[in-house]
Structure 1
Amino acid sequence: MTGSSVSPDLDKTPSLEDVPNKLAAILHKWQILLKVVHWSVWTSGLIYVLGCFVTSETNSTLPRVAPDEFVDGSFGIPRDKDTADEEWYRYSTAIRKFWIWVLVQPLVSHCLFMKYRSWLPTFYAAYSTFFLLCNVGWLITASFYTLYIAFFISARHRSIVACYFLGLAVIAHSAFPVLTFLKPVYLYHGSVETFLTQVGLSWTAARCVSFAVDAIRMPASEGSPKVDTTLAYVLYLPAMFTGPLQNFSDFAAQVAKPKEAWSSRDVLRPMVQIGLCTAYFFLLEALLHWFYSSALAYYPDLVEEMDDPSLLGLGICLTVLFFLKYRILYGLGSSVAGLEGLDLPAPPKCVSRIHLCSYLWRHFDRGLYVWIQRYIYRPIAAHGGWSLKHRLMGAAASFAFVCTWHGMDRAVVVWCTLNFLGISTELLTGLVRKQETWQSIEKAYFTGAQLQFLRAAVSTPHFLFSMFSCMFFLSNVDIGLIFLRRVIFGYPVPLVPTLLVMYCGCHVSIDIMDWEVKKKKS
């Protein structure tokens, strides 16, 4: 009797080599499931607290309690509109009033100067001067030119100390309440024009520092800065009053490039961005009819009466509305400049997906960040060989400037101090991660998903700390202290649930950051 043969397929058993592959597949499925959980929890958490805030009695009845902070609804919306954010109220009025001036510039520059590129800086300066004369008067126009001339003379005499002193003095006189006696005699065509003049002088001072310091750092043999290019940079209309800030060297290099005829791609992308900014404009205007966070920030006694979810919703609402405001302002300037072939710094990234202080500063106001890096932080940090001590000194000087830029009231001082502490913590953490001992531990125990879980767990308190610091800047000290007492010290509720949701938010932020890195590499 012959032995029966067994089919090789029936006798096949999994080999040891197949086990890691199956384990990896299972882990990959779990990672996808966890990502879904993280995104769902973070998104639903934001929606929940915003819903609690908008439906709270405090928010709903605020127009009756504080009618001076509201006006009748616009765009046919039968609800009162929050106008307590004075900055946005005046900026939005200016956008409605002067948008045609900004959009006409790229059309004229392209039609008239496509073949005569060398005349383009002169046109920019002349067009902006004409705008100033027509809308804010000769006295304010003379103030802008006087500021430019003072910096130009300082650059000619290669006095970097004079440049920094002039810049600080102008920014201080525009921002410090205690220095109101130094304010020039404004020609009061209206509150909007006066507001644009004050903020415009600060932006102009920062740009003047940029071109003057860049000129001083150049070899003397290359001569003085060109009047037409520097004046065009300082008075470039699409970014003159709203930003974003761009360093002079980048602007000069882009203006000097040969100008080509518009292609569909050259026009489509900036026009899409302008369309998005327009949509964001109407979205923000609509949200102000329901979310009264700006007005409520002036009434800490009413905020104290809110329940914990509504208080958290107030914090998120202030942050989101602030993001939308600067997404519009910076987005309009950069997109209009894009029609002229100029690449201004990108508009801010959404704050709901930024979990680190350094990442917030690097990507919310990209132009101001690059300016501070070039003219404040790097000169100090590089002077000491990039040691930890000098890097901390550079960070301290940077936040001292930011504090001055934003007016240096109590809330701004607290906000800048907390952000300096957050950045310092990140610097120390980065120093620890560079140590060989930690790197060996990380390689042995934390790779892939484990490393992301560690990053999210460590970043969660930092994320909450960053959001907490913003409460001072976006409202005032009283609201910030209420948030500190009710949320930060509110153990176990609402602190623990808040940390769990923000832990998921850290995963969302890390996922997006990793995706952006992969996209950039590809």
Structure 2
Amino acid sequence: MTSNPKVRWAPLPRTELLVYWLLSFGSHFYSFYELHRFSKEHEAGLDRQFQLETGLVQGFKRDASDFEWNFWTEWAHKSLLWTLTGHALLSRFCCIFYPQFRVAALTVYGLLAAVGVLGLRGVGVLLLHVVLSFSVAQLRRSALCWACNLLLLCTLHVPPLQDIQRGWYERDEEYYLLLFSVAVGTLRLLSFSLERCGRPAVHAGTFPQLCWLLSYTFYHPFFYNGPVITYNDFVEQMQTPVEEGERHKPGARYLLLRSARILMWWCMAEFMIHVTYMHAIQSNETYLEILPAWALGGLALALVQFFFVKYLVLFGLPSTLATLDRLDPPGLPRCVSIMYSFTGMWRHFDKGLYRWLLRYIYVPLGGSHRGVPRKMFSTALAFGFVCLWHGGHDYLRCWALMNWLGVLVETGLKALLDSALLRSFFERHSSAAARRRLAALLSAFSTAALILSNLIFLGGIHVGRIFWRRVFLQGLPNRATSAWNRLICPPKSQPVVVSLDSAGSWPHRCRYPSTGFCRVPPFFFFFF
């Protein structure tokens, strides 16, 4: 989880690069087209089972099976867009007329906006967490702060408390919003507590600390879903004098371009769930089993790309508003199609959470500066916390374990290849371009494992199991076997037909002739 300097690779021939780009984009678009075809062919069945909504464009239906996208879209229409607009207007008004009251006004506004959505009882839960965490932080014991906040986080999963909190609201969506707010708020409370333990407080008095903690916790653009920013960064940036901040304030052109980009990302997300019913398909194992090879690859592509575009919208709008308050929010996620390592995925997707884990878990536990065992331990605890913070379900444990192993394997392989012996060997017996191709080949295997782990995170263990069986156990070995058979023995007029046994194990007999085997091509996953 440590950052490394950017590697400068040797240039490759333009023709070779062009072939790579054509194969990459060609496989992406063709697989997405095959998924679109499958979605339209089975639209009636998917509609009966998942109640597809009427599309925004006539002649198209809308896949509403992704809970998170529908949840935030609905709340944006109901209240969030209006309260965020009110925050922007209040911030600008205070900057012009009452800059000395800007932080206090935004804090009160954030509290009132939270009360309007979560109710007095919901905000009361958050305030109780704030008071308890603040009180424990005054003891300046990191272990006690961790214990307190983890116990508060675990209260989200206590059935009696869940039943009580559900009873406060008429709809489950309101209760879920409380859960999201408490979960994200826990990261802020931990940030404040650990900063209080690790260094002198920004403010000496107890009351100013509590006021800043309330401002940090109820800062409206980041309140419900993030992105995550540390307590010290928030306070230091919000304390920037108005005169100095005005010189660095984004101009109207920047805001218009940023707003246009967010609107474009929203349109792209809606386009994806109109032309493909990816989330409905992944929710039914029968459809996953009968998906054609290229459509199966297109489903994997569509799911991870939609997740990326979704968070460009969910993080993009709050980050844009935060720049009006002279905050420097974490950068937006990087496109998942250019991610080729577990470490890169963690470093560049949710940058705020990555910095939080680095600052409060990985580095304090030793990180990469105290030997391999300590690095393995600190990395394991970082992924363990992320798993717990997301809910600790079985598929999350599997996902966290895969990411931990992926980071360790990548780190170990990089250290091995960077050793003096292997480096001198490769420098003597290969060109720089050949070493670049070798690195790309090794990264392809990491990319395939990364995609599989993301599919488990997005769809659950059953989705990952089906992809593992159809692509890695059936697809890749059989493609290799088919090619080898064609080389050593030409196909006969009646090819041998093999089929899976009743348990679906490999390799007994396969229903596809060896000369006509059609599975997801291996290179498809390498071009993600």
TM-score, normalization by structure 2: 0.84
Name the structure 2 match of 1:85.
66
Name the amino acid aligned to 1:233: Y
**Of 295, 298, 321, which aligns to 2:283?**
298
Residue 165 of structure 2 corresponds to 185
| Aligned twin of 1:457 | 441
Q: Deviations over 1:204-244 (max 9, x none)?
A: 01111001110111137973562222211111111111211
State how 1:425-504 maps to structure 2 within 5 Å.
Answer: 425-445=409-429, 448-489=432-473, 490-492=475-477, 498-504=521-527
Displacement of 1:299 in angstroms is 0.7
Task: Check 1:494–1:85 CA distance in 2 against 1; reply closer, same or farther (3 A cut).
Answer: farther
Which of 251, 259, 266 is the aligned partner of 2:242? 259
The CA deviation at 1:381 is 2.4
Counterpart residue number, 2:361: 376
- C-alpha deviation, 1:68, in angstroms: 5.0
Cα deviation for residue 425 of structure 1 reads 0.5
Q: State whether residues 297 and 520 of structure 2, in contact with CA within 8 Å, keep that contact through their aligned partners in structure 1.
A: no
Counterpart secondary structure, 1:458:
helix
Q: CA deviation at 1:498?
A: 3.7
- Greater shift, 140-149 or 118-127, is seen at 118-127
Paired residue for 1:70? 51
Please list the CA deviations of residues 169-198 of structure 1 after superposition, one character each: whole Å capped at 9, or x if unmatched: 333343x4xx33333524215333222111
Residue 230 of structure 1, aligned match among 201, 213, 231: 213
The amino acid of 2:326's aligned partner reads G
In the superposition, relative to structure 1, how do residues 262 and 100 fare at CA in structure 2: closer, same or farther (>3 Å)? Answer: farther
Distance 2:407 2:342 in 1: 6
The 8 Å contact of residues 381 and 393 in structure 1, kept in 2 or not, is answered as no
- The match for 1:288 is 273
Which letter does structure 2 place at the counterpart of 1:230? L
The amino acid that maps onto 1:326 is Y
Partner residue, 1:242: 225
2:299 paired with 1:314? yes
Of 438-447 and 367-376, more deviation after overlay is shown by: 438-447
Percent of counterpart pairs with the same letter? 23
Q: Deviations over 1:39-68 (max 9, x none)?
A: 111111111111111102x66324534535
Whole-angstrom distance in 2 between the partners of 1:288 and 1:220: 48
Higher mean displacement: 410-419 or 209-218: 410-419
Aligned match of 1:353 in 338, 344, 349? 338
Answer whether contact 1:80 1:289 (CA < 8 A) is retained: yes
With over 3 angstroms needed to count, the CA separation of the structure-2 counterparts of 1:498 and 1:373, relative to structure 1, is farther
Question: 1:286, 1:42 → 2: CA distance?
Answer: 21
The aligned counterpart of 1:203 is 184
Q: Does 1:166 align with 2:148?
A: yes
Preserved CA contact (<8 Å) 2:188 2:216: yes
Opposite residue 156 of structure 1, the aligned amino acid is Q
- For 1:278, the equivalent position in structure 2 comes to 263
Runs of 5+ unmatched residues, structure 2: 1-9, 481-518
Q: How far apart are residue 265 of structure 1 and its match?
A: 4.6
Q: CA deviation at 1:80?
A: 2.4
Cross-structure match for 1:516:
none
Alignment of 1:18-37 (within 5 A): 31-37=13-19
Counterpart CA distance in 2 for 1:470 and 1:313 is 14
For residues 190 and 451 of structure 1, do their structure 2 counterparts lie closer, same or farther at Cα, with a shift above 3 Å needed? same
8 Å contact kept, 1:271–1:335: no
TM-aligned CA distance change 1:130 to 1:488, over 3 Å: same
2:431 & 2:252 partners in 1: Cα distance? Answer: 44
What is the CA deviation profile of residues 103-130 of structure 1, one whole-angstrom value per residue up to 9, with x for unaligned ones? 2212221222346544332222101111
Specify the structure having the higher radius of gyration (Cα): 1
RMSD: 2.4
CA contact (8 A) 2:64 2:70 kept: yes
* 1:342 maps onto 2:327 in alignment: yes
Equivalent position SS for 1:349: coil
For normalisation by structure 1, the TM-score amounts to 0.85
Amino acid at match of 1:199: F
CA distances 1:130-185 after superposition (whole Å, capped 9, x unpaired): 112222211111111111111111111223223212322333343x4xx3333352
Report what 2:502 is aligned to: none
Give the SS at the match of 1:161. helix
Q: What is the aligned length? A: 473
For residue 99 of structure 1, what is the amino acid of its counterpart?
L
